Amino acid sequence: MQPEFNPKSSIDKLVKDFELAILSPETFHHQEHVKVAWWYLQHYSLVESIAKFSQALRNFASSLGKENLYHETITLAYILLINERLYKSGKLLSWEEFADANQDLLDKENNVLNKYYNQSTLESDLAREVFLLPDKPLFQS
């Protein structure tokens, strides 16, 4: 079922413009990526969200002539983390409430994925092409 877009909603407009690949790259930063992924997870199942968000992100990168910007591992890892946080919170948070409660997902400088992945893994061509499981131990004895 396709969600109805509310043209007065800034998040709905962001998602629609993202899907149409008409956003200016200067206005679509890390926080907007997370916000759009959050929106998809509010409207679709996890599997549908992964498919729709990933395809729209590839299209957006392609519209900029930068197909090489798409990164499979980073994209899927963030969607999975956002989904986990939504379920832990009860999935009823507004974007503002979700963002306030999950500042680590929005901090590009101190990327949350550094807790799960070695930098060399995230920088690899393989991680860009296919989803790689986290390779850092979460618990050290």
Phi/psi for 83 (5° steps) reads -60, -45
In 3D space, the residue among 40, 78, 39, 36 whose CA is nearest the CA of residue 60 turns out to be: 36
User: Is residue 106 assigned to a domain?
Assistant: yes
pTM surpassing 0.85? yes
Q: pLDDT above 70 covers what percent of the chain?
A: 91
- Domain of residue 86 covers 10-129
Number of domains in the chain: 1
Is 139's pLDDT higher than 70? Answer: no
Q: In this predicted structure, what is the pLDDT of residue 90? A: 79
Does residue 3 belong to any structural domain of this protein? no
Residue 16 lies in a domain: yes
Per the domain annotation, does 60 fall within a domain?
yes
How many CB atoms are located within 10 Å of the residue 69 CB? 14
Residue 1 confidence (pLDDT) above 70: no
Q: List Cβ neighbours of 74 (8 Å cut-off, separation of 6 or more).
A: 113, 122, 127
Q: Whole-number mean pLDDT of the chain? A: 92
Q: Does residue 95 have a pLDDT over 70?
A: yes
pLDDT single digits (tens) 20-41: 999 998 999 999 999 999 999 9
pLDDT at 38: 97
The number of residues making up the chain comes to 141
In whole angstroms, give the CA distance from residue 136 to residue 127.
Answer: 14
Is residue 33 situated within a structural domain? Answer: yes
Instruction: Read off the tokens for 57.
Output: 């992100």
In order of 38, 40, 66, 75, 98, the CA distances from 87 in angstroms are: 12, 14, 33, 19, 11
- pLDDT for 74 equals 97
The answer to whether residue 134 sits within a structural domain is no
Summarize the confidence of residues 46-63 as an average pLDDT: 97
Q: In the structure encoding, which two tokens stand for residue 95, read together?
A: 């974007």
Task: Please report whether residue 2 resides in a domain.
Answer: no
80 part of a folded domain: yes
- The pLDDT confidence band at residue 92, using thresholds 50, 70 and 90, is confident
